[in-house]
Amino acid sequence: MQKEGSIVRVQNLNVWFRARTRFFDFWRSASRTFIKAVDGVSFDLNKGETLALVGESGSGKTTVARALMQLIRGAEGNIWFDGRNIVRTNRAERLRLRTQIQMIFQDPFDAMNPRETVLKIVAEPLNIHRKDLDAKRRVALVSKALRSVGLSPPEDFLNRYPHELSGGQRQRVLIAGALVLDPILLIADEPVSMLDASLKVEILNLLVELKRKRPLTYLLITHDLALTRYVADRIAIMYLGRILEIGPSQSVLASPLHPYTQALINVVPTLDRVWQQKQVLAGEIPHPSNIPLGCRFHPRCPEATGLCSKSQPAMKETEGQRLVACHLR
Amino acid sequence: MNRQLSLLKVKNLSVQFRLGDEYATALRDVSFDVHAGETLGLAGESGCGKSTAALAIMNLLPENGQIAGGDVWFQGKNLTQLPLKELRKYWWKDLSIVFQGALNSLNPVKTVGAQIAEAMIVRNGMDKMQAWDRVKDLFRQIGIRPERISEYPHEFSGGMRQRVMIAMAICLNPKLVIADECTTALDVMIQTQIMNLLKELKSSLELSMLFINHDLALIAEICDRVAIMYAGRIVEIGPVRSVFFEPIHPYVKQLLNALPRMEDSISRLHAIPGTPPRLQEIPEGCPFLPRCHQGDRRCGLEVPLMAEVYPDHWANCHKINPTGRK
């Protein structure tokens, strides 16, 4: 069950996809392989906080988000939301959930229909979930959402098309669309990774501001540790389908526990650390159809011991509400 | 500005694109030098013209783009005046380019080794054996096992493909490599590996590089000098440390303030208000004026000229007084 103050509790979530093997293998069901995109993920999302899910591509962070959004079939484990287990839902329940959980996507250019006006784009969730509203009320709610993301006066934007907007304005429109139903949880999947440096800051600052005014909780999915610092309360580090470390962002970044977190922080390119020596890990993330035995990070870990290749470390609690999955900590 | 031998000299280069019935000026009066053995960084937001500069130098502008003025001097030859046939002789051997999307730049139905070997056979008249030996050497140099030369691009990861592109760019020992956002689509760990490879090659081959990237931290890491572009112009150019520690132009100052750090105690970053102008309607005078908090009437009338404020560190802003100091 959920604990007090948490809005989402994910317990031992698994999302395995069946790997497409060679054409002639399809009847040899015995040799089926799975791509373990998410493999035993557990975390709590507390009311009002921003939790950043950080990892390289292929680490499974987007899959976690999609499982939360009910955009994926075949998720196993538990996802508690609002007192209910939502890992398997029916259509009616999914509809209800989507009024409470909303998502913003990475690419503000791809996520909009170029032939729809801003009004139509932002009003779309209302058309599905609030059929009771008349046109006037709908415009009023859309205007309110536009104003809250800094697109004011809203009348100037309602009838514009995506190509008439700048990149920052587009991302704002998408955020307005996510907010128009007043959700309590907003999942932002790399919301700024396609934007220029200054725009990144603009949109992140907007998200921070929105949370001050509304009872919102964020799950922020990102690969950018440096930006995470300025917006997230807690950070969870994912690697190959599993969370390796989770804790308050300041302490995770200042004194990372897991060797992978240390390595990741070490290579973040920021101007204040340019001229420092960087220890880079050799090799690349293994493919999720072929997860190493024992600790999944051990083949690349500079500190690995014999134990690490044999048994998978469990998450254990250390000081200051930090959790880490490493035999050596 | 001619203190060192310049390998590439771009002078007052302007490029226009035809977009329907409008003209967009993607590059306006851009001048810079790349000295022998030096790495110059070209930075700026998307649409500021940094990739256009690379394409114009290589004469690879798309159909609707054209050089509207200016020269590109490479080892004493004006590349803009050369017919394509002559210019092609420079490609790979003297000048080469690494693009962002390595997967799109590689031929999916040819092995990676064959693609590199082909470049050497066609361009340099090497025989097959020689070429394949050289490919193996190159693979060792870029940190991929030479056995893998006969694999196809899809068998390589993104980082390895980017390494192959780099191997291809250096296969004929060019004097200048243009790296256009060559780390952009990669994860931070792989990105660091590629950066380390470039740094190694830079010193072992004494390469000159034009390193185009939107990430100022990466520029700082590998470049000797940096040019910051805004709306098709260079607004500031100088030695990397000088530009990053003592920025002059208000745009550069604000841009640096918008970058996240890892070791400060600031809890909030500041965005630059407003957006860059559309290239079809760049305002008269200083293009940064609408977003500048120091601008005045003069800025709206005259385009500021480059002035040397610190040694070899230039910027164009009317707010720099004649003695140089702000």
Which domains are assigned to chain A? Answer: 6-100+183-324 (3.40.50.300)
Is pTM beyond 0.95 here?
A: no
* Nearest by CB: B259 against A263, A264, A271: A271
Closest chain A residue to B262, measured at CA: A226
Q: Which pLDDT band, with edges at 50, 70 and 90, does A20 fall under?
A: low
* Nearest by CB: B268 against A205, A271, A284: A205
How far is residue B264's CA from residue B262's CA, in Å, rounded to a whole number?
Answer: 6
- 3-state secondary structure string, B44-74? CCCCCCHHHHHHHHHCCCCCCEEEEEEEEEE
Q: How far is B169 from chain A (nearest CA, A)?
A: 22
Contacts of B159 in chain A (CB under 8 A): 284
The pLDDT of residue A25 is above 80? no
* Nearest by CB: B221 against A199, A253, A269: A269
* Nearest by CB: B196 against A166, A208, A280: A280
The answer, for A277 touching chain B at a CB cutoff of 8 Å, is no
Prior bond of A153 cis (ω within 30°): yes
The pLDDT of residue B9 is above 50? yes
pLDDT on residue A182: 94
Contacts of B46 in chain A (CB under 8 A): 196
For the stretch A260-272, pLDDT in tens is 999 999 999 888 8
Contacts of A200 in chain B (CB under 8 A): 258, 271
DSSP B7-50: EEEEEEEEEEEEETTEEEEEEEEEEEEEETT-EEEEE-STTSSH
Strand order in the sheet with B39-43: B95-98, B176-180, B208-212, B39-43, B225-230, B233-239, B313-315, B307-310
Q: How far is A163 from chain B (nearest CA, A)?
A: 12
**Residues A305 and A328: beta-carbon distance below 8 Å:** yes
Q: What is the CA radius of gyration of chain A?
A: 21
The answer, for A264 touching chain B at a CB cutoff of 8 Å, is yes
Q: What is the mean pLDDT of chain A?
A: 90
Domain ranges of chain B: 6-94+174-315, 103-173
Q: How far is A238 from chain B (nearest CA, A)?
A: 14
Q: What is the mean pLDDT of residues B30-35?
A: 96
**Regarding the domain with residue range B6-94+174-315, which homologous superfamily does it belong to in the CATH classification?**
P-loop containing nucleotide triphosphate hydrolases (3.40.50.300)
**Residues A90 and A113: beta-carbon distance below 8 Å:** no
For the stretch B201-259, pLDDT in tens is 999 998 999 999 999 999 999 999 999 999 999 999 999 999 999 999 999 999 999 99
Listed in sequence order, the residues at least 6 apart from B144 whose beta carbon sits closer than 8 Å to its beta carbon are B160, B163, B164
Percent of chain A clearing pLDDT 90 (strictly above): 69
The answer, for A54 touching chain B at a CB cutoff of 8 Å, is no
For the stretch B267-317, pLDDT in tens is 889 999 888 888 888 888 999 999 998 888 999 999 999 999 999 999 999
pLDDT on residue A256: 95
The pLDDT of residue B1 is above 50? no
**DSSP reduced 3-state for B196:** helix
* Nearest by CB: A57 against B187, B196, B255: B187
For the stretch A223-248, pLDDT in tens is 999 999 999 999 999 999 999 999 99
Nearest to B215 by CA among B258, B246, B178: B258
Lowest mean pLDDT among A104-108, A252-256, B223-227: A104-108
Closest chain A residue to B220, measured at CA: A274
Q: Which residue has the tokens 């909303």?
A: A102
Q: Do B157 and A264 touch (CB under 8 A)?
A: no
Q: Do A223 and B187 touch (CB under 8 A)?
A: yes
pLDDT on residue B226: 97
pLDDT on residue A32: 66
**DSSP reduced 3-state for B235:** strand
Interface test with B, best of A196, A250, A285 (most B CBs within 10 A): A196
For the stretch A39-72, pLDDT in tens is 999 999 999 999 999 999 889 999 999 999 888 8
Q: List A34's β-bridge partners, or say none.
A: A18
Q: What is the mean pLDDT of residues B79-85?
A: 91
Q: What is the mean pLDDT of residues A11-28?
A: 75
Closest chain A residue to B243, measured at CA: A271
Q: Which of A89 and B324 is assigned the larger pLDDT? A: A89
Tokens of B298: 């003069």
Cα A71 off chain centre by: 13
Which of A25-62 are b and which e, b meaning 16 or more Cβ less than 10 Å from the residue's Cβ? eeeeeeeeeebbbbbbbbbbbbeebbbbbbbbebbbbb
